[in-house]
Amino acid sequence: MPTNLPSVIDAVQAWPVRKKATGFAVVVASVALLILAFTWSRKDEYHVLYSNLSESDAGQIVQKLKDMKVPYRAEAGGILVPADKVYDARLQLASQGLPQGGGVGFELFDKTSFGTTEFVQKLNYKRALQGELARTVMAIGAVEQCRVHLAIPEKSLFVREGENEQPTASVFVKLRRGKTLSSAQVDGIVHLVASSVEGLNSQEITVVDARGNMLSKPGGDVAGLSASQFDYQRSYSKDLEARIISILEPVVGKGKVRAKVSAVIDFSRSETTEEKFDPEGQVVRSEQKQNEKSTNVGAGGVPGVASNLPGKTTVAATPSQGMSEKQSQTVNYEMTKITSRTVNAPGLVKKLTAAVLVDGIYTPQQGSKEMKYTPRSEEDVRRYEELVRETMGFTESRGDQIKVVNMPFEVVAREEEVLPPKTRIIEMAAPAARYVLPLLAVILLVVFVLRPLAQSLSASGSNFPGGAAPVAQTFDEIEKTGARKELPARAQVADWARKNPTDAANVIRSWVR
């Protein structure tokens, strides 16, 4: 039932001193808790502006934030500013060339001095070029930090052309957590640096990550192969190894197979042209025939000297007659000809060599933690070899070789699994807690403080006239009823309860409430 204000005030005034002090302390603590919760909820939330800054960049950014009158907090993780000013501050700092990535760019020449020597000018140009290249590489999303080192030899007039040392470059990149650079991105960095420095060959550029892994491909040819051809040959061997392991693991068990494949691939391009004639396939292409006949008539006489001397009578010559005939025939035949042209594309497999290691069988022993090793049978090994032959495309005429060996694997203690980094639960829950905690504090205050206090005051005021406290009113009623004062206090209460059972029951009921 509702409690009116006068009854509550009277009930509070009738409290003992200790109870009044406790109630006052509870009220003060509740009000302070509410004020603290609402103040914390309205406090500015800070977000990271920049992290992993160099000392020079951090100092310049802090100075610019002071000039812009933007509140900030410098912590180990970086520089923090209020959440509603993060993007504006980044835009303003970017317009002023900050952060610079730990290096200077061509703004180094904004302020020049007439007394600068040629050596200093060249050194400043080299520093500026290194800084600009580092900034450009950092524009790649996966790159967090970058440094570029250029080694540019001095040109000399006393050295013949072509004998000067070639410039070299080294690029150090720190990748963001969980990010990697693809081969195309690494090639892009190499060509970017090579195109920015005069006379720099892409093969003289080395790209290294923060773990010391060389990301760029080695310069020159490896065993007569280019970098792309070497990568293809290696990937082809890795693919065959994965096939062999995948076909044997379901049979021998996971982790009990090791395979190494060496592939020799011919990348040369050859072309062959061949012509074949079929003697049985003759065809008459052209035929020519010629027939000639002739008759010859001429004077005749006695041959010799006597018939030709002067004064001699000659005998009349008898005419002679002759006939001749000539025939010719020409036949041209066309032979059947087959012309074939064969072009061998690069990438032909010349030879495959595979070595496969298979673990044995382990069985537990009673009363011992050690496992008994049992080698696999020769029949099983032969079957494994047949599977490997079919998987890798074994060709005997090509000179392929396969060796499957059954040996026990050495038991290596497993490295402790690296647990994933702990999730920042507090940072994730902070935005929601800013609004939930004040509401929760109000609810707890109402349920556990104000509501029980109101019920206690209401019960006190409803059971005794004037809203007096139950204990104080009990002794007043005892005195009014004329209890014997010569008796002890406990006996007086018992005597009063026997004479006034109804009032005693009401007092006990109020205490229970």
Which residues is 333 bridged to in the sheet? 284
Residue type, 341: R
Q: Do 326 and 292 form a contact (C-beta atoms < 8 A)?
A: yes
Output the pTM of the full model.
Answer: 0.40
DSSP 3-state assignment of 127?
A: helix
User: By the 8 A CB rule, do 364 and 299 touch?
Assistant: no
Give CA–CA dist 382/253, Å, rounded: 17
268 vs 202: which has the higher pLDDT = 202
Q: Do 107 and 97 contact (CB within 8 A), yes or no?
A: yes
Q: In this structure, are residues 283 and 334 in contact, taking their beta carbons and an 8 Å threshold?
A: yes
Name the DSSP class of 492: H
Residues 417-443 have pLDDT tens digits of 444 444 455 556 656 666 676 677 777
CA 394 to CA 351: how far, in whole Å?
9
Is residue 277 very low, low, confident or very high in pLDDT (cuts 50, 70, 90)? confident
Give me the half-sphere count of Cα atoms (radius 13 Å) on the Cβ side of residue 149.
6
Q: Does residue 333 contact residue 284 with C-beta atoms inside 8 Å?
A: yes
Q: Retrieve residue 234's tokens.
A: 């290696």
User: What is the C-alpha to C-alpha distance for residues 395 and 350, in angstroms, rounded to an integer?
Assistant: 10
Between 323 and 67, the higher pLDDT residue: 67
Q: Which of 52-66, 157-171, 472-486 has the lowest mean pLDDT?
A: 472-486
Bigger pLDDT: 226 or 370?
A: 370
In terms of residues, how long is the chain?
513
d(CA 459, CA 468) in angstroms, rounded, equals 10
Alpha carbons within 13 angstroms on the beta-carbon side of residue 395 total: 8
Q: What is the pLDDT of residues 331-375, one digit of tens each?
A: 787 777 778 887 777 778 889 999 999 999 888 888 777 888 889
Can you tell me which residue has the tokens 């009930």? 11
Q: Identify whether the C-beta of residue 79 lies closer than 8 Å to the C-beta of residue 50.
A: yes
Rounded to an integer, what distance in angstroms lies between the CA atom of residue 107 and that of residue 128? 8
Tens-place pLDDT, residues 384-416: 999 999 998 899 898 999 999 999 987 643 444
CA 419 to chain centre: 19
pLDDT at position 464, please? 42
Q: Is 171 exposed, middle or buried (0-12, 13-18, 19+ CB in 10 A)?
A: buried
